[in-house]
A = this chain, B = another copy of it.
């Protein structure tokens, strides 16, 4: 069994590597034509894709997947339309490959610049969300990279249908057919094989839970760009507009609680806690959010008491720094901006952090001092997203500092080479 699977992976990895060299020189026109075909196909083949997804959903329910996982797995017309729109947004972006930047003439007359080039073959191991198959494929194609996709078992029918669409449309547009490789096997052993395939895969981007990401980071033989674990705080400063604060906190927690940029902990300045918490608590209760409160916030929320369904619990130590991925948030009252910054430094995962304030200096300090991939003033952390940031889509969200940080778009899937033009120049 394993040897068959190893062979599938090896064969597809080598095919991707061979395709990568040709992909690097593909014209923008051909690449954009492929993307347009994929966008069109997502809408035209809606029924087949949704049928494949329904099989995954049924299997997932039968296996007792959590609501969070089922929500990640689900495709519907709206999500397919969103995917197609993201593909068109990527097609509309400039081709990063071949861009020359930092070009200048040195005092000795040498002309020196940098020219953007693809990375080669991107490998990705991902869980549940089937849109990842399309997002990563189109970003890799447009940035001239080949890709080896290894999706999760739960989404195998959805991913298979989407990958088949991508490969067909790519080939129809004139892209080498081997540029996008989809690994059929859902055997866990394939992931470990993939981690060793450094001759075929230049960069690995794992997307999924912390277990998967840590496993990949610890065992991959090739470079890894990883992140995705989001322990996200929103700090309501004493100078916050409280109406904005309630809307931002509500949006960050409720709009899609199962994703990494959703709010996990509310920090609120003591001076406004008495006004903010009851208002926020009432709104969050409407959505069924459970609040794990420190002593001060619990007292305030209890005495303000109960909109219907307001579920309060005393916070335990494990609530700080926890990624809930559910309609649960931790709440803590702080005495100062400094205390909020220290809490975020200690418990944040370096993903997305927000302050709500009208105080200019507090906003500037928060932007300067918080060490995270995305730092927000007066906006919901839910905006940390390649599509929302204008990158069309994302290969992943990096919480590391090396290579790229935050949403990985087209430019983040490239490297550069120095180009130097002389007229017989020799070094003195």
Alpha-carbon separation in the docked complex, A406 to B114 (Å): 10
Knowing A251-B426, A383-B425, A426-B382 touch, does A405 contact B401 (C-beta < 8 A)? no
**Is B119 a contact of A379 with CB atoms below 8 Å?**
no
Chain B residues near A370: list those with CB within 8 A.
417
**Is A422 a contact of B376 with CB atoms below 8 Å?**
yes
Alpha-carbon separation in the docked complex, A294 to B155 (Å): 57
Chain A contributes a number of interface residues (CB within 8 A of B) equal to 65
**Is A371 a contact of B426 with CB atoms below 8 Å?**
no
- From A31-39, A270-278, A384-392, give the one contacting chain B: A384-392
Alpha-carbon separation in the docked complex, A418 to B376 (Å): 8
Chain B residues near A130: list those with CB within 8 A.
none
Alpha-carbon separation in the docked complex, A113 to B226 (Å): 21
CB A408 to nearest CB in B, in angstroms, measures 12
**Is B378 a contact of A424 with CB atoms below 8 Å?**
yes
**Is B367 a contact of A419 with CB atoms below 8 Å?**
yes
Minimal Cβ-Cβ distance residue in B for A422 = B379
Copies in the complex: 2
**Is B403 a contact of A418 with CB atoms below 8 Å?**
no
Q: Looking at chain A's contact residues, is the secondary structure mostly helix, strand, loop, or mixed?
A: mixed
Q: Does A241 contact B (CB under 8 A)?
A: yes
Chain A 348-381: CB-based contact to B (< 8 A → 1; otherwise 0): 0000000000000001000111111111111110
**Is B390 a contact of A415 with CB atoms below 8 Å?**
no
Alpha-carbon separation in the docked complex, A225 to B389 (Å): 28
Chain A 391-420: CB-based contact to B (< 8 A → 1; otherwise 0): 000000000111101110000000111111
**Is B424 a contact of A244 with CB atoms below 8 Å?**
yes
**Is B371 a contact of A417 with CB atoms below 8 Å?**
yes
Chain B residues near A252: list those with CB within 8 A.
426
Partner of A427, one of B119, B380, B424: B380
Chain B residues near A402: list those with CB within 8 A.
119, 202-203, 223, 225, 402-403, 415
Alpha-carbon separation in the docked complex, A223 to B380 (Å): 31
Chain B residues near A230: list those with CB within 8 A.
none
Q: Which residue, of A119, A223, A405, A425, has the highest number of chain B Cβ atoms within 10 A?
A: A425
Chain B residues near A419: list those with CB within 8 A.
367, 374-375, 377
Knowing A371-B417, A377-B420 touch, does A390 contact B112 (C-beta < 8 A)? yes
Knowing A251-B427, A416-B405, A426-B255 touch, does A421 contact B379 (C-beta < 8 A)? yes
Alpha-carbon separation in the docked complex, A203 to B403 (Å): 11
Partner of A405, one of B112, B255, B417, B422: B417
**Is A424 a contact of B247 with CB atoms below 8 Å?**
yes
Alpha-carbon separation in the docked complex, A368 to B406 (Å): 30
CB A363 to nearest CB in B, in angstroms, measures 8
Q: Does A423 contact B (CB under 8 A)?
A: yes
Minimal Cβ-Cβ distance residue in B for A119 = B401
What is the interface of chain A, defined by CB distance below 8 A to chain B?
A: 25, 98, 104, 106, 110, 112, 114-115, 117, 119-120, 202-203, 223, 225, 241, 243-244, 247-248, 250-252, 255, 363, 367-380, 382-384, 388-390, 400-403, 405-407, 415-427
> With contacts A363-B421, A405-B415 known, what are 12 further pairs, Cβ within 8 A?
A98-B368, A106-B388, A110-B383, A112-B390, A223-B402, A244-B423, A247-B424, A373-B418, A378-B422, A384-B418, A389-B418, A406-B418
Residue pairs across A and B with Cβ atoms less than 8 A apart, 14 shown, are A106-B389, A119-B402, A243-B424, A248-B425, A370-B417, A373-B417, A374-B420, A375-B418, A375-B420, A378-B421, A380-B427, A401-B415, A402-B403, A406-B418
